[in-house]
Structure 1
Amino acid sequence: MHRGADLVDQLPAGSSLTEESLALAPERWLLEHSGGILSMRALMRDLCNLLVAQGMPLQRASCFIRTLHPQASGRTVIWRNTMRDPEELMVLHGIEESESFKASPLPVIFNGAGAIRRRLADPAVPLDYPVLADLKEQGATDYVAMPLKFSDGEIHFITWTTDAPDGFSTEQLSILDGLLPVLALRIEILERQKLTEELLQVYLGHNAGRRVLNGAIRRGSSETIRAAILYADVRGFTAASDALPGIEIISLLNDYFEIMSQPIEERGGEILKFIGDGLLAIFPLGSGDAAEDADAALKAAMEAQTLLRGRNAIRKKYGKPVIEHALGLHVGDVSYGNIGSPTRLDFTVIGPAVNLASRLQGLAKELGHPIIASGLIASMAKLPVKPLGRHPIRGLRDPVEIFAPYGVETATA
């Protein structure tokens, strides 16, 4: 066995392994010394390095965990003895119906098999799963797939591969098998935490989700921030809803929100909510150049218009109705936090600045302009804008001067 300071020095940056932990049984290390590890990727990295340090001839290990995610059915972490850090891959929905999945060991393990072993060094062993031929070509001599059972009864998947001439010994297989209950428990804890973070991000947004996880969960708790506010809405949506089947309406909205999300997120904005056929997003004004932050909101709006025009060309090609929208931009102080009932909360922004952005979006619909900005946005942003005059706004005593960016065409131009 190889232990000691020399080996610790060779471990990847960020490893939790110490000279003392290298002497611990893997189960004890998992239970008592892996608490500071916050990801399955780091856990697999340190566990595999610990096993190797204690004489386990690992060439490769992979772990597949099913997950609840709008885009993925699971995630895979693959450790190799030739890489300092494992790779992590998201497995997209629909993989279960693919031929590669059906021809893999995964369904066999998911259906209750206790383990699958193939001694690849034996010429007579059938290579009945395509992955085995690949592993054998890479020098693998033995392959074992095992189930990881979570506390809810769901079965996940882990594999171990060696390139030792005689494969895994009976003792080594016993060690790996004995790891499974503790390893499953440890990974389940990590995955539940990651699932919570991902779902909060998906449903609340990155910053709002982080704040909720950090304890901003009391009704009425909020803070005042200054932000550029973007309010957008699909034009003619009510008529389209009456004329189109439900599935086409859902497809239209998904197209629209996908287009809007990309430039908003790339420009540092955060979508707080989808409201029917509309959305509310903010671009917090940081302590740096406020003009840059305000400009980011205007640029995101213009880029969304360009993307929408491209998507409409595709929709027209396939006989689908095009999407037109109206978008209002303003900047101001907003209350950012929790509102709602004792049992149902919404993490959002409220305040006069939000109301004005909403009114500007409505005015954009009336005037037929896809993007309208307030005078405050116009004065802060660096992009050139043109005045559209002063217009009355419902709820305000005095008319408001509004502007539109140059070079913005309709989404069907």
Structure 2
Amino acid sequence: MPPTDTPADLTLRAIEARFVARATESDAGERVIAEFCEELVAAGLPLWRLSLAVPVIDPQFRGASIAWRRGDGVEVFTTLHGPEGEDTYLRSPVGWLHAAGGSFVGWQLEGPDAFPDLPLLTELRQAGATEYRLHLAAFDPGTALEGVGISFATDRVGGFSESERAMLAGLVPVIALVTAKFSLSHTMREMLGTYLGPATGARVLAGEMRRGQSAVVHAAILLADLRGFTALADRDDPLKVVGWLDEHFDALGDPVQRHGGEISKFLGDGFLAVFPVAEPDALACPACAGALGAAREALTRNAALNLARRRRGLPGLEADIVLHYGRVVSGNVGTDRRLDFTVIGRAVNEASRIERLCDELGRSLLLSEAFARRCGTPVVPVGEFSLRGVGRAQRIWGLADEADAPPGSGPAQGEAAESAEDAAHEIGS
């Protein structure tokens, strides 16, 4: 006759079932884990701390851990890439156990020292922990998400009982399964956000990934380009050049996100960013104001970067930025199995044509007629130009210095009565 589950067994199975159900329905990992731990404590398990440590696929971080402590709730910790992050990992219990080639270890923390000299164990002992148990559960190989380190600690004198230790070991598979689910969800969001941008990544994650699935949107366009990069790449060490390029992208690109835009794609030594316009018919345009603020900040930061680099005897790269406004097509373009989520359209092409005028005019920032009308800032005309592939000559504008900005100059003020629809028509006709 098969053994009958005890009331404690039935309680534990019910807690596990609710844990899995909550994790299935939600990506709120911190809340789900906290509720699970609190239910275990309410059921009589002397759990004082539970921690989940996982590697992550992230350009900044090599790993993350979620730690619940009774009475304190949940904290999230991250480990950076690089020497400091590697040292932190190697001096952690997970790093120690992985180096030892094991999948489980348990240490009594009370009484005479009988555990490795690891910072976390010392910290937990000083906080009152009496026993620490760590399990490593592997995930399916093939990605950097190798598995999870699951640790349990108690502050009860004498530690866990044998039956409680068996109970904790029995919880490891379901905790690992839930952690894998949260890790994969987090990885999908972070990877899409990293390679496509947060807003675009969210659209793809919501299912917008069929070829031809696109939308026409009004947007302020920011096109940035680094002057002289090709010559620099020809004469310097390629790896150094890539490092310098990344520094410039930080200087130029970080302001884009802060001012409400998103980099749509990198173009070798430049990038295209868009600032979606919520109300195309309104002349006052927060998106254009945001794009202009991003451009100003980007140029200031790039100049500071060049100054710092030249002080170290290193080459600098000047930046050119064009601001434009118009309609773009945002969506999926490519083959049936290899897609690029990007923006295309006449306005993008026009911005590229205008950018070529920066060097000719000796200006780092140029504004199209359509953008100048909507940006709410005094501007000055720099000329009228025929752009390749554009049917008629375009008026181009620059920002007015304090010394040469008479009140009311430029379309931002002098032509404020013209409608936004007219401005859009100028680049869309």
Q: Which segment is superposed worse, 246-255 or 95-104?
A: 95-104
**Does structure 2 retain, via aligned residues, the 8 Å contact 1:26–1:179?**
no
Indicate the larger mover: 231-240 or 25-34: 25-34
Q: Which of 285, 302, 327 does residue 291 from structure 1 map onto?
A: 285
Aligned residues of 2:350 and 2:390 also touching (Cα < 8 A): no
State yes or no: 1:45 paired with 2:34.
yes
Give the AA of the match of 2:119. Answer: P
Cα gap change, 1:39/1:265 in structure 2, threshold over 3 Å: closer, same or farther? same
Q: Give 2:61's aligned residue.
A: 72
Distance 2:14 2:292 in 1: 58
Superposition pairs for residues 19-30 of structure 1, below 5 Å?
24-30=13-19
In 1, the alpha carbon distance for the partners of 2:83 and 2:163 equals 35
Measure how far apart 1:32 and its partner are: 4.1
Residue in 2 aligned with 1:247? 239
Matched, 1:273 2:265: yes
Q: Name the CA distance, whole Å, in 2 between partners of 1:209 and 1:123.
A: 53
Counterpart amino acid of residue 248 in structure 2:
Y
The equivalent of 1:205 in structure 2 is: 197
Q: Distance in 1 between matches of 2:321 and 2:215?
A: 26
Q: Measure how far apart 1:50 and its partner are.
A: 1.6
Cα distance in 1 for partners of 2:177, 2:153 equals 22
**Residue 349 of structure 1: which of 343, 347, 352 is its match?**
343
Q: Matched residue of 1:58: which SS?
A: coil
Q: Would you say the 8 A contact 1:40–1:191 is kept in 2?
A: no
Mean CA deviation greater in 111-120 or 323-332: 111-120
Q: Determine the structure 2 residue equivalent to 1:166.
A: 158
Conserved 8 A contact 1:60-1:79: yes
Q: Which residue of 1 aligns with 2:423?
A: none
Given candidates 108, 114, 121, the residue that maps to 2:110 is 121
Residue aligning to 1:107: 95
Q: How does 1:180-191 map to 2 (within 5 A)?
A: 180-191=172-183
**Once the 2 structures are TM-superposed, how far is the Cα of residue 139 of structure 1 from its aligned partner?**
1.3
Which residue matches 1:261? Answer: 253
* Long gaps (5+) in structure 2: 1-9, 403-429
CA drift of 1:31 comes to: 3.6
Structure 1: which amino acid aligns with 2:81? H
**Cα pair distance change 1:94/1:40, threshold 3 Å:** farther
Alignment of 1:137-176 (within 5 A): 137-152=126-141, 154-176=146-168
Q: TM-score, normalised by structure 1?
A: 0.88
Distance in 1, matches of 2:261 and 2:22, equals: 39
2:220 to 204, 228, 252: 228
TM-score for the superposition, normalised by structure 2 = 0.85
2:86 corresponds to 1:82: no
- Residue 297 of structure 1 aligns to a residue in which SS? helix
The amino acid of 2:65's aligned partner reads T
**Offset of residue 128 of structure 1:** 2.7
Distance 2:225 2:163 in 1: 64
- RMSD between superposed Cα atoms in Å: 2.1
Aligned to 1:16: none
| Cα distance in 1 for residues equivalent to 2:23 and 2:210 | 32
Deviations for 1:50-89, whole angstroms, at most 9, x for unmatched residues? 21111122222221101111111111111111224x1212
In structure 1, the residue corresponding to 2:66 is in which secondary structure? strand
Q: Any unmatched runs of 5+ in structure 1?
A: 1-20, 409-413
Q: Which position in structure 1 is the counterpart of 2:399?
A: 405
